[in-house]
């Protein structure tokens, strides 16, 4: 079956710049494609600004790795049984010289489309694991600290991903059997091709890493997929946590998600805990772990080292 996406541009009387018209029609066509294919879009001036910003991001991204413009912040994950920090999630930041700090939402889709997410993702893994090794070696009682790293769909589908993870583990000289790495994959990505995902995830698990379903509950999926995938952890999306204490139905949903996860042997982590009330409810519901601004915002490694030394309990 052949489909078509159409971009339309209206020429003003007397227009002679044919190349310009075709370029604008092209921009409108890409917008039509991005809007769900099989549609048409009329070109508008504002589209050009969006495309230009995107081009600026694309070309700056190409140089960002070698210019060392990326960094990682780490957000503590708290064990709700003991109230202590049991792990970290590594979150990517980009200090772009022209525009200042950029967040994953500003550049991840560009990095995915251009394929640059592959080298960037390897850098994230290597950096996060090296940091884990430092914390495990240099701080007392931190030898079991785990590190969570987000993997994009594009990374996961890349055949080399298993080698990349194995190499990063070996280079950080971390023993993969003393589980130190958790890979987080967004629920929607897992649903794209369950069978291919199951094979890839099984190969990753053989390295001794844990696997988490990120943003759980946002994918509008049949829960059946949980049976077919070798996952260990459910991270309940922060949209559900935000509704705790606001809406009774929401409480029931979070309760069900936690019970379901635990009944099938998974560890349940709540994301986006912003106040003491939410934390208390989650604890009462038997949630295993939590992370969020209430406990700690994502912070650079030095600040996390200080925090780990203070060893706060929530």
CA distance 134 to 145: 11
Which of residues 32, 60, 272, 288 is near ligand C2E by CB under 6 A?
Answer: 272
Residue 91 within binding range of ligand C2E, rule CB under 6 A: yes
Nearer Cβ to ligand C2E, position 26 or 106? 106
Nearer Cβ to Mg ion, position 131 or 150? 150
Coil, strand or helix at 117: helix
CA distance 184 to 232: 10
Nearer Cβ to ligand C2E, position 96 or 214? 214
Exposed (0-12), middle (13-18) or buried (19+): which is 6, by Cβ within 10 Å? middle
Which of residues 127, 132, 146, 152 is near ligand C2E by CB under 6 A?
Answer: 152
Q: Which residues contact 192 (CB under 8 A, 6 or more apart)?
A: 153
Nearer Cβ to ligand C2E, position 18 or 105? 105
Whose CA is closest to 151, among 108, 192, 203?
108
Nearer Cβ to Mg ion, position 188 or 250? 188
75 binds, among ligand C2E, Mg ion, none (CB under 5 to 8 A by kind): ligand C2E
The residue range among 124-132, 212-220, 283-291, 306-314 that interacts with Mg ion, by the rule CB under 5 A, is 212-220
| DSSP label at residue 12 | P
Strands of 12-141 (E only): list them: 40-42, 70-79, 85-96, 100-102
CA distance 83 to 44: 53
Residue 268 within binding range of ligand C2E, rule CB under 6 A: no
Which of residues 124, 233, 270, 281 is near ligand C2E by CB under 6 A?
Answer: 124
Residue 292 within binding range of ligand C2E, rule CB under 6 A: yes
Q: Which residues contact 189 (CB under 8 A, 6 or more apart)?
A: 152, 153, 156, 197
The footprint of Mg ion (CB under 5 A) covers 150, 184, 214-215, 271
The footprint of ligand C2E (CB under 6 A) covers 75, 91-92, 103-105, 108, 121, 124, 150-152, 184, 186, 214-215, 238, 271-274, 291-293, 298
């Amino acid at each position: 079956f052949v489909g078509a996406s159409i971009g339309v541009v209206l020429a003003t009387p007397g227009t002679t710049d044919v190349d310009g018209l075709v370029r604008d029609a092209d921009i409108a066509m890409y917008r039509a494609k991005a809007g769900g294919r099989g549609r048409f879009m009329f070109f508008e001036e504002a589209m050009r600004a969006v495309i230009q910003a995107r081009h600026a991001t694309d070309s700056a991204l190409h140089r960002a790795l070698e210019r060392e413009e990326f960094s990682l912040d780490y957000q503590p994950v708290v064990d709700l049984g003991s109230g202590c920090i049991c792990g970290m999630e590594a979150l990517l930041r980009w200090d772009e010289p022209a525009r200042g700090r950029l967040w994953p939402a500003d550049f991840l889709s560009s990095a995915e489309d251009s394929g640059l997410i592959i080298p960037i993702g390897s850098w994230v893994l290597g950096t996060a694991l090296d940091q884990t090794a430092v914390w495990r070696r240099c701080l007392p009682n931190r030898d079991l600290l785990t590190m969570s790293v987000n993997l994009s769909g594009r990374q996961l589908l890349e055949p080399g991903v298993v080698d990349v993870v194995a190499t990063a583990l070996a280079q950080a000289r971390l023993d993969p059997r003393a589980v130190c790495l958790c890979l987080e994959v967004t629920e929607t990505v897992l649903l794209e091709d369950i069978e291919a995902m199951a094979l890839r995830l099984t190969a990753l698990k053989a390295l001794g890493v844990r696997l988490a379903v990120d943003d759980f509950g946002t994918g509008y999926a049949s829960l059946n997929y949980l049976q077919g995938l070798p996952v260990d952890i459910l991270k309940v999306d922060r949209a559900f946590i935000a509704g705790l204490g606001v809406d009774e139905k929401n409480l029931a949903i979070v309760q069900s998600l936690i019970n379901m996860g635990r009944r099938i042997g998974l560890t349940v982590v709540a994301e986006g805990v912003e106040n003491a009330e939410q934390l208390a409810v989650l604890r009462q519901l038997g949630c295993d772990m939590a992370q969020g601004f209430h406990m700690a915002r994502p912070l650079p490694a030095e600040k996390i080292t200080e925090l780990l030394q203070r060893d706060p309990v929530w």
